[in-house]
Amino acid sequence: MPELEDITYSRDECVAAVRDYYDFLSKMYHDESDVLIPPDGGWPTITQDNLRGLGKTDEVISLLRSLPYIRAPEHTVLKLQSAPLCQFADWRQDSHNVSIGASNCEVLKHCSESAWLLEDIPPHVVSLTSGNYDNPVLLLDTELGVAYWPGCPAKVKCDPPRELVSDDPYDYAAENEAEWRADSAAWAIPDFFEVFKDQFRKLNFVPISPRLVMDDYTPATGDDDGMVPMMQDIYREHGWPDLQRYRKRECLEAVRAALKERYPDFSSDPMEED
């Protein structure tokens, strides 16, 4: 298992890992046009002045300025999900909203770091996600080069596709941070995104529309009983996870048709391909 002394943080490596992850999702279900790539010099709306109220380090702001983001659909507050029930943050838009007075950093902190973690997230750690109170929190440490998954399912934590960081947070972290770090699964940043990609490859994470991803770790309710296994079969029938054989357009059309027929309550926001 890797130790912290063997892990280093690299902004370029982090940016490449996020961009590769979004590229992977585009091959499966996102549209390529939904991935926004920063211009040379980074996103001009993301500045320390705009985000000063977050209390983050200059390195965190520089990282956010350099990251790609997932476009939020127009005329809706709903974002595209890039993990189960999980909206990744668009700090480009968030920073712009602060600059024009449409939002503020206190709101952004609550949306991205969750009320139960809010006081215990240090300035050099930033959330990759942002949404309502039950949106999963994924945290990236720009000093240690480690990403944390609070609430990681036990099946993933006990049998991870990439080795977890072995260090005990109670040995290296501040007292108020140790609990959430210890309760999280932690990987070197590139490994973290490979773990998420592996969950999609195995169809433990299953997109049922661009705005909704489910998992097979959560027990089904009466409304969605049998839906995830049905979706898994559809993806496999269309070649997934072999990208050389995977027929994306046909698969997403089949997903939409199956939802409309068997689970109409989940088909009101169908997948749309140009």
pLDDT confidence of residue 268: 57
Residues 261, 131: one domain? no
- Tell me what pLDDT residue 202 has: 97
In a domain, 125, yes or no: yes
Looking at the structure, tell me whether residues 69 and 105 fall in a common domain. Answer: yes
Domain shared by 194 and 229, yes or no: no
The model's pTM: 0.93
Least confident range of 65-74, 81-90, 171-180: 65-74
219-233 pLDDT, tens per residue? Answer: 888 788 999 999 999
Compute the average pLDDT of residues 185-193. 97
According to the model, what pLDDT value does residue 274 have? 37
- The phi-psi region of residue 244 (left if phi > 0; otherwise alpha if psi is between -120 and 50; otherwise beta) is alpha
* pLDDT tens sequence across 8-23: 999 999 999 999 999 9
**128 in any annotated domain:** yes
Total domains present in the chain: 2
Same domain, 251 and 126: no
Q: Are residues 81 and 175 in the same domain?
A: yes
Question: Same structural domain for residues 194 and 232?
Answer: no
Q: Answer yes or no: do 129 and 188 share one domain.
A: yes
pLDDT, mean of residues 245-269? 89
Residues ≥6 apart with Cβ < 8 Å to 177: 120, 121, 122, 169
Close Cβ partners of 94 (under 8 Å, ≥ 6 residues apart)? 103, 108, 130
pLDDT of 178 over the 90 cut: yes
80 shares a domain with 12? yes
Instruction: Give me the pLDDT at residue 269, please.
Output: 52
Is 209 part of a structural domain of the chain? Answer: no
Assess whether 145 and 241 both reside in one domain: no
Count of helices and strands (H, E) across the chain: 10, 10
pLDDT at 102 over 70: yes
Asked if residue 173 and residue 104 are part of one domain, the reply reads: yes
The more confidently predicted of residues 2 and 48 is 48
Q: Give pLDDT, residue 210.
A: 73
91 falls within a domain = yes
Residue 23 DSSP SS3: helix
> CA–CA separation, 101 vs 16, rounded Å?
32
Give the model confidence (pLDDT) of 124-176 as tens digits: 999 999 988 788 999 999 999 999 999 899 999 988 889 999 999 999 999 99
E strands of 204-257, at which residues?
Answer: 205-209, 212-215
pLDDT at 56 over 70: yes
The closest of 36, 39, 42 to 63, measured between CA atoms, is 42
Q: Which residue from 86, 63, 83 is spatially nearest to 11, judged by alpha carbons?
A: 63
Mean pLDDT confidence for 65-91: 85
pLDDT tens column, 31-40: 999 999 999 9
Confirm if 254 and 209 have CB atoms less than 8 A apart: no
Asked which of 145, 168, 199 is the last residue of a domain, the reply is 199
Ranges assigned E (strand) in the chain:
35-36, 69-70, 81-83, 86-87, 125-127, 139-141, 146-150, 184-188, 205-209, 212-215
- Shared-domain flag, residues 16 and 115: yes
Residue 28's domain spans which residues?
Answer: 4-199
261 and 167, same structural domain?
A: no
Q: Note whether residue 8 is domain-resident.
A: yes
- Is 214 inside any structural domain? no
Q: Which amino acid is present at 70?
A: I
Residue 209's pLDDT band (boundaries 50, 70, 90)?
Answer: confident
Within a domain: 205: no
Domain boundary among 143, 166, 199: 199
Residue with tokens 């027990």: 219
226: tokens are: 């049998």
Say if 26 falls within a structural domain. yes
Q: Pick from 166, 199, 232: which residue ends a domain? A: 199
